[in-house]
Structure 1
């Protein structure tokens, strides 16, 4: 009897629907395409306001459009969602605007160089020098400057890579005390040294020793600029090698030098190679040391140890200084060759880094 009564009472209880949670977050949200819509609206309003005000600078159009985009994103997100999401979207929008501000000049420079340099770039341009060619003539090429760049950068790499690698190994594996701190300090100082200072240093040695200009002198100045970059990048890569690998090797009775040679360096070889490639790309476009130490030449000089040479940066400066329409075309074409050279080095570095990267899977 009591059981039936209890059941009846339970059945007679009114059914209550669960109350919605009040966690302070709005359930409404903007669609995924909302940022694109805000950007389009900001651009349209920015261009319209600029034209109405009589402003014809595209930089002004871009700045006004960016500010309107940020304002529209924040206000619309505050109204539809909440202020917390609006702040998050505002921070994200600022990151995107800063990214575009950095990329647009680079893309414009790359597009201008490709469009103007491709008109003159061909097989003839890459296989001929400027010997006997006047600045106003449309003939001539960049072969002598390309040879000079390859030789000077190659010599600098042969000198800088071993020195930088050994210095980094000393700082990470052996360096302690005053000497290591001094080496680290001077490496940091050399990282920010202007290229003209490196050129003047080698020039003073040339004047003291009565040494004639040559590609080797320019390569020595480039070496001064390249060594700190190699040291810094290699040092950071060696620090990323887990200490457990060193300890395991030493626990087996293997000498420290052999541990470094067989365990540490192979583990970090991908990052070390990437650092060397980036250092090469950094010195490939230097002009000031080459002007001081190599002097430039219109002829093909394949001997970097004797006589003046040219290089791609010097060739660009030289052709631009002539001031003729044909020389401008050659300068743009040489700039495109230099950009392609640096880009190929970066792609090779990324490929080697990915190839030599430690495998994470079993």
Structure 2
């Protein structure tokens, strides 16, 4: 073995050792975080969390209004953002794959993907809260929709680009118009990937706090009115975790555990669907 080969093997071994050590440090830190979360979260988890409202300072209570508020705003955020993202991704993959508009949309979408969520919250605050004169669940849903759109656009474009062109050509040869080819051939072939992208978008917005602080704010009481402030789990966790009250801190741990378990379930489902798509 030459000296050059020995030096290369040494550098490779050092680089591999540093990579393994870095991964180990990350996994150990993650293990400590999850251990603290599960230990404190399960200790504060009980039936009251799902049946009672957020309590006043120094009192025991639950997170029912915050859980329902998060579900409502996430639902409407996905309802608004997912179709827009799917339509944009469909255009980019099926109609304007090499057009200048697609290049511009892709560039803007990449900016939105990497933009801090607090910037989105401030933008929606200016265009909705300031104009309406008050905080509302509508503004919170719009803020979440802005976060859903770029995720769905990217996954929709990528999944449709993976559909073989021969499937489209065969459907076109049978006389189907382009719109039907997309709906009945391309969408069906990419269905698992499209659902995966939607689940990833839900997981992306389910734990967002900053946009909701500027739009939906919070509400200690039960409220399902979309034109009024509404409680949400991330905002309640933020508020309760910073409080000096032990009861609030326990509820914050329980809420953090609920969000973590929800995101974990969505991520596992997305990976299972992705594995099914690749196996086919």
**What is the TM-score normalised by the length of structure 2?**
0.90
The Cα shift of 1:300 comes to 1.4
Instruction: Give ranges in structure 1 of 5+ residues lacking alignment.
Output: 1-23, 26-81
Give me the whole-angstrom Cα distance separating, in 2, the residues matched to 1:207 and 1:301: 18
Do 1:117 and 1:329's aligned partners in 2 also have CA atoms closer than 8 Å? yes
Q: Max radius of gyration: which structure?
A: 1
Partner of 2:131: 209
1:200 paired with 2:122, answer yes
Aligned pairs for 1:153-232 (under 5 A) are 153-175=74-96, 176-207=98-129, 209-232=131-154
Flag the structure with higher helix content: 2
Give me the whole-angstrom Cα distance separating, in 1, the residues matched to 2:123 and 2:57: 32
Give me the whole-angstrom Cα distance separating, in 1, the residues matched to 2:134 and 2:206: 22
Partner of 1:149: 70
Deviations 1:231-268 (A, max 9, x none): 01211111111222222222333222111111111111
**Secondary structure, in 3 states, of the residue corresponding to 1:322?**
coil
Do 1:172 and 1:238's aligned partners in 2 also have CA atoms closer than 8 Å? yes
Deviations 1:86-107 (A, max 9, x none): 5554444333222212222222
Give me the whole-angstrom Cα distance separating, in 1, the residues matched to 2:258 and 2:77: 20
In the comparison of the two structures, how many residue pairs are matched?
Answer: 277
Deviations 1:279-325 (A, max 9, x none): 1111111111211111201111123x132111111011111232222
1:314 paired with 2:235, answer yes
Give me the whole-angstrom Cα distance separating, in 2, the residues matched to 1:89 and 1:99: 15
Worse-superposed segment, 288-297 or 150-159: 288-297
Give me the whole-angstrom Cα distance separating, in 2, the residues matched to 1:128 and 1:207: 29
Q: CA RMSD in A?
A: 2.2
**What is the TM-score normalised by the length of structure 1?**
0.71
Do 1:237 and 1:271's aligned partners in 2 also have CA atoms closer than 8 Å? yes
Aligned pairs for 1:63-142 (under 5 A) are 89-130=13-54, 133-137=55-59, 139-142=60-63
1:207–1:313 Cα change, 3 Å? closer
Question: Which of 276, 280, 301 is the matching residue for 2:223?
Answer: 301
Greater RCO structure (CA 8 Å; 6+ sep):
2
Do 1:125 and 1:142's aligned partners in 2 also have CA atoms closer than 8 Å? yes
Give me the whole-angstrom Cα distance separating, in 1, the residues matched to 2:269 and 2:126: 36
